[in-house]
Structure 1
Amino acid sequence: MDKIFLEQSKCPIKKTLDIIGGKWKLRIIFQIGSEIRRYGELRKLMPDISEKMLIQELKSLVEYGVLSKKSYHQIPPKVEYNLTEKGFKLIPIIDLMKEFGAEN
């Protein structure tokens, strides 16, 4: 393993945790996976997250370029999310975490 980065801002692990850290982001990425998901679908798949938190986390993931968001101007509003190329790079990490959790 590499030496500890002396300057916190250059630490790649810190940068990764800034993007995907927290209670919900990895679960959101996992639920979207290779599919296009509408906001309502995500709410049903994750009933234990508040609406405010889901909106906040989705917005953050879009800003970091992990998710893309497509809004349709219709009534009722329709919003779809899917993983970007950067987001797909996280799937093997999530799979390893899932495997580790199942074993332990």
Structure 2
Amino acid sequence: MVETIYGCKWSLTVYQLLASEINRPGEMVRSVEGLTTKVLNQCLRKNVEFGILERISYNEVPPRVEYKVTELGTKFMEVLDELEKLQSEIDNKYNKRVN
């Protein structure tokens, strides 16, 4: 699961958008250059399947869909943050040795 989600370069971007309270797919596509509706939908679908995001569909005309982070998703993102911190530490130690 981690490899699948982390391997999708757009998942981390989606998490950042959700943290910025951008939770509607159309708004997400408009907010990120290079992100297409098709790729976003695939990314969102995977995250929903893994239980990281929840899809909320409103019975309105026109239809409205929003996404929010689940409790599991919050824990998952905390783990990703820790991995990024660890990678930074590793990079800093490596760069000190090289220089």
Query: Which protein is richer in helix relative to its size?
Result: 2
Q: 1:54 aligns with which of 29, 40, 46?
A: 40
Percent of pairs identical after alignment?
A: 38
Unaligned runs of 5+ in 2: none
Q: What is the TM-score when the length of structure 1 is the normalising length?
A: 0.68
The CA distance in 2 between the partners of 1:65 and 1:38, in whole Å, is 18
The CA distance in 1 between the partners of 2:82 and 2:33, in whole Å, is 22
The CA distance in 2 between the partners of 1:94 and 1:41, in whole Å, is 24
1:31 positional shift = 1.4
Alignment map for 1:1-104 (pairs within 5 Å): 15-33=1-19, 35=21, 37-92=23-78, 93-94=80-81, 97=84, 100=88
Give the aligned length: 88
> Which is worse superposed, 16-25 or 75-84?
16-25
Q: Which runs of 4+ in 1 moved over 4 A?
A: none
Q: What is the TM-score when the length of structure 2 is the normalising length?
A: 0.71
Which string of whole-angstrom CA distances, capped at 9 and with x for unpartnered residues, describes residues 30-82 of structure 1? 21127461122211222311110001110110011000000112222100101
The 1:39–1:95 alpha-carbon spacing in structure 2 relative to 1, beyond 3 Å, is: farther
Structure number with the bigger relative contact order (C-alpha 8 A, sep ≥ 6) is: 1
Give the secondary-structure state (helix, strand or coil) at the position aligned to 2:66: strand
